[in-house]
Structure 1
Amino acid sequence: MNEQRIVNGLSVDVEDWFQVGAFEKTISRDDWDSLQLRVGDNVARILDLFDAAGVRATFFTLGWVAERNKPAMRAIVERGHELASHGYDHTRVFTFTPDEFAADIAKARAILEDAGGVEISGYRAPSFSIDQRNPWAHNVLAEHGYAYSSSVAPVVHDHYGWREAPRFAFDPVPGSDLVEIPVTTAIFRGKRLAAGGGGFFRVLPYGFSRWAIRQVNSREKRPAIFYFHPWEVDPDQPRVADAPLRSRLRHYTNLSRMEGKLSDLLGEFAWGRMDELAAIEKARSMAWAA
């Protein structure tokens, strides 16, 4: 049952199996072109899954991937979804200078717009890497005319997190058109819990995500922001045997169950594109300001 018809934000972070943060110290970027590309076929599976559920979503895509998978980019757009930026090659934003970040998002945007034939107005930082160390990144995005970012995880995590950030959409650059839409968290006994998808959705029981989204929709009357990756619906992907045990457990657990859990989630709640949600959230913030 859709919770009070609140439309939640559905998103896919489009990167291939070897580009994830868990393997960044194991697999060199110099080796990427020698590895098996599987993201195109996995995007096709996800598009079919979304069609079957009758939902539309946003695909935050690496420029590196778009360069090598132009048919997939066109398919995303032609089937009614939003194509948005995930940066060029999954470099974490807090490792950039402002000028380097500006160059990265400009490069990725040009590639994505060429591949998809549409204007790119949304951005998600790799590994939610806009936090208290680099709030200047929002200024750079605003200067480059982005309508929204979904780059903040307002939790504590070993790979990312901005604990003090607002849990829901906020204006990170006063006076600009940019709105930041953090990934979803839920509250349990006064503590914030990551509840926006990814590995948490795949590893934990489905009931946890149901509870969290219902809390956000019903109690707080706000949309949830959910994400996952194409490699998460690919149980036959290559194994990285020399990666740390923790990274392998995090990456490979429950891959075979992911597609079924997604089908349940898509059927139980209402979902839509992030650009449409961003417009609603921006209007909400303007109404509050007035």
Structure 2
Amino acid sequence: MERDDEVVKNTALNAMTVDVEDFFHVSAFDSIIKPEDWDQYKPRVDANTRRLLDVFAKADVKSTFFVLGWVAELYPQLIKDIHAQGHEIASHGYAHRRAYQQTREELTADITRSKNHLEDLIGEPLTGYRAPSFSIGYDNEWAFEVLAELGFKYSSSTYPVKHDLYGTPDWPRFAYQRPENIIEIPIPTLKIMGKQIPIGGGGYFRLYPYKMTQMLVNRYLKQEKQPYSFYFHPWEIDGDQPRLTNAPLKSRFRHYINLDKTEGKLVRLLADFNWSTMKDVYGVA
């Protein structure tokens, strides 16, 4: 009999994704760090992302990199190198402002600035977008219209769970075609005893023991018969990053837990499952 903790390998193709931002960009710290303060911090995103590229190369894995425009302007060669190594470049907006905190005009300008710069760097159109903190939801569905108007083909900007920063628990759990002609690819959840459990990566990946993640992903693949997508950030493999002691306790817990273990867990995840880009897995081009 097959067990939940047995590895599903070579039978399902799943999407590996990276949100390319630095430790001082995260929403958990936006109560103490404003965009105008970013230049007070020494960026670590270039070195951390290159470290990830080495990890992916050793595992022969291609990923989708949702790049913050601010990072792309500061490190253009990094973006060119990611693209040259066969990974997909997509947009994470420019200034890491949550979509629901912006007007339609502000969001359009933010995404356009990121998209234009990234396309200039790699010499081809972008098809994918992910809102910071999965911040498209009930009150700003018009954001999908903005994405369609700007020529995007897909988004991965919703998480069907309850969370204090985001969440659309009653929206679709699997990739679907929006009426705005955008394919939305939600972050994965697993239904256990009627509840939707977040299993998409990020802080949950750092919090859960690896064997638990492995079991949950296998169960998802067997139960749902849908591709799985995983997300995380370059700062999540950086245990040496500065500690912001003035941040709220909850934010510090979320951000700093198990940073020193993430790379080892990631190496195991890459080996235990089949991975490719969002474009390849979901057929969006």
TM-score over 0.5 (shorter chain)? yes
CA distance in 1, matches of 2:191, 2:73: 40
Deviations 1:167-224 (A, max 9, x none): 00011225x2x20000110111110011000000011111222122112211211111
Aligned-pair distance for 1:3?
4.2
Matches within 5 A, 1:128-167: 128-167=134-173
TM-score of the aligned structures, taking structure 2 as reference length: 0.95
**Contact 2:16/2:229 (CA < 8 Å) preserved in 1?**
yes
1:237 match: secondary structure: coil
Alignment pair present for 1:109 and 2:115: yes
**Contact 1:74/1:117 (CA < 8 Å) preserved in 2?**
no
Among 182, 187, 190, the alignment partner of 1:183 is 187
**Contact 1:67/1:115 (CA < 8 Å) preserved in 2?**
no
Aligned-pair distance for 1:125?
0.3
**Contact 1:152/1:161 (CA < 8 Å) preserved in 2?**
yes
**Contact 1:139/1:173 (CA < 8 Å) preserved in 2?**
no
**In the alignment, what sits opposite 2:198?**
194
**Contact 2:10/2:274 (CA < 8 Å) preserved in 1?**
no
Among 27, 30, 33, the alignment partner of 1:21 is 27
Aligned-pair distance for 1:278?
2.9
**Contact 1:81/1:273 (CA < 8 Å) preserved in 2?**
yes
Q: Which runs of 5+ in 1 are unaligned?
A: 283-290
Alignment pair present for 1:11 and 2:17: yes
| Identity value in percent | 47
Deviations 1:81-101 (A, max 9, x none): 001000001000011222221
TM-score of the aligned structures, taking structure 1 as reference length: 0.93
Aligned-pair distance for 1:4?
5.6
**Contact 2:72/2:118 (CA < 8 Å) preserved in 1?**
yes
Report the residue type matching 1:245 in the other structure: L
1:18 match: secondary structure: helix
Deviations 1:9-44 (A, max 9, x none): 110001001000110011121110121010000010
CA distance in 2, matches of 1:109, 1:173: 22
Q: Which runs of 5+ in 2 are unaligned?
A: 1-6
- Cα RMSD over matched residues? 1.3
Report the residue type matching 2:133 in the other structure: S
Runs (4+) of structure 1 moved beyond 6 Å? none
Aligned length: 279
1:227 match: secondary structure: strand
CA distance in 1, matches of 2:75, 2:265: 27
CA distance in 2, matches of 1:199, 1:113: 30
